[in-house]
Amino acid sequence: MQSKRFRTGRVYAALGLLFAALSLAPSLHAASGMGDAANGKIRSQAEQCQECHGEAGLGTAEHYPKLAGQWAGYIRKQLGDFQSGARKSEIMNAMASDLSPRDIADIAAYFSSAPRWSGEEDNFSAAGRALYLNGDPSRALPACASCHGEKGAGADTGAGPIPALAGQRESYLINQLNAFKADDRANSPGAVMNEIAHRLSISEIAALAHYVSGPRAME
Ligand code: HEC
Ligand code: HEC
């Protein structure tokens, strides 16, 4: 449930931020956030989120995911899943446990309205690109692009938001695909990512992560 206070007191602040965001950067997803981004900035600092995910949501180490410009609906879903235990991570289950619904909405609005990350240097893999764009019909492996988009931008589809992937950190992507493959992460709708990752070999996961993390995945 989004807070009712948003609808009354915070509409003007949100509109102001929306305009500021739209005029600053082309790839922002601020429009999808339903929280108060200014308060989210304060709360994400107070809750120490920024220590690992960075002040601007760019992540401070290889295994900390970038959040800047990620869809707000996806961030909210993940924080809810960490709270309920549907997604397991020792760190994040603890970090999310005390967040109120309002904190979740505001923090998601803040990170999603931060300028979107760029790709990791010159990472590229031709094999990863082919698999990402075409999948492999011979083993019923769908193209990643069919859901995550050709440029890896994802989509805020409401109930089952699809994360932006392109330019995300390579080791984080490898960790997540391995976790889906091993069923250690099992929070995707209808277990769709588990079904897909079961069919990927370790070297395909490496090739996909190398391609997806690079700037050319966004072109
Ligand atoms: C000590 C480091 C650390 C802190 C502090 C931390 N995180 Fe995380 N966060 C992580 C790691 C590591 C992961 C990846 C977990 C996994 O392996 O699934 C993660 C994952 C996430 C994700 C999922 C991203 C995705 O692409 O699916 C979100 C959202 C998130 N954190 C938000 C937060 C918020 C909000 C806070 C503050 C309340 C916070 N984090 C504090 C380390 C941290
Ligand atoms: C049928 C749609 C669909 C297809 C096809 C698909 N994905 Fe996903 N993917 C999703 C959804 C939905 C999620 C979010 C799951 C959740 O709610 O936690 C996701 C999550 C992910 C994540 C976790 C991102 C993060 O920030 O934690 C990675 C990595 C990923 N997918 C990679 C891939 C790759 C690589 C392929 C192709 C081999 C692929 N996906 C194909 C729908 C899809």
Query: 118 lies in a domain?
Result: no
The 10s digit of each residue's pLDDT in 205-214 is: 999 999 999 9
pLDDT for the residue numbered 34: 81
Measured in angstroms, how far is the CA atom of residue 207 from the centroid of ligand 1? Answer: 24
Confidence grade of residue 64 (pLDDT, cut at 50, 70, 90): very high
Judgement on whether residues 105 and 195 belong to the same structural domain of the protein: no
Of 53, 88, 113, which marks where a domain is finished?
113
Count of the separate structural domains present in the chain: 2
Higher pLDDT, 219 or 93: 93
In a domain, 94, yes or no: yes
Q: Is the CB of 92 under 6 A from ligand 1?
A: yes
Domain that holds residue 154: 126-218
* 200 occurs within a structural domain: yes
Each residue's pLDDT tens digit, 15-58? 334 333 333 333 333 443 489 999 999 999 999 999 999 999 99
Residue 14: the pLDDT is: 40
**Nearest bound ligand to the CA of residue 193:** 2
Angle at 70 between CA 66 and CA 72, to 5 degrees: 130
CATH number for position 205: 1.10.760.10
59-94 as b/e, with b when 16 or more CB fall inside 10 Å? beeeebbbbbbbbbbbbbbbbbbbbeeebebeebee
Same domain, 41 and 139: no
Substitution site in 131, 156, 171, 188 for ligand 2 pocket (most atoms within 8 Å of beta carbon): 188
Q: Say whether both 104 and 147 belong to one domain.
A: no
Determine, yes or no, domain membership for 119.
Answer: no
Asked if 80 and 160 sit in the same domain, the reply is no
| Mean pLDDT score, 127-131 | 98
Q: Whose CA is nearest to atom 37 of ligand 1?
A: 49
